[in-house]
Amino acid sequence: MTAIQYFWRHPLAEQVREEGREQGRAEAKAEMVLRVLEWRGIPVLDEIRERVETCTDLDQLETWARRAIHATDATELLTME
């Protein structure tokens, strides 16, 4: 087996790929939370935007996405924590 083929099958390579997928899912959910607020015409303060964009907890992002659907103000995303 060549070194390149071995690398792609190595557990460390699998872990790196999984971490990349998790990060991609978190980024997509964060983007959706902010987009829902934008579509609804709700302004988002920079500090809230940064908090959403840097969050890596998929469960938290899911909670914020549900809240974004009903929120009248972006701060409502964070008020029920």
Asked if 64 and 77 touch (Cβ cutoff 8 Å), the reply is yes
pLDDT reported for residue 5: 61
The DSSP letter of residue 41 is T
Is the per-residue pLDDT at 1 higher than 70?
no
- Tell me what the pLDDT averaged over the chain comes to: 86
Is the per-residue pLDDT at 18 higher than 80?
no
The DSSP letter of residue 74 is T
How far apart are alpha carbons 35 and 37 in whole angstroms? 5
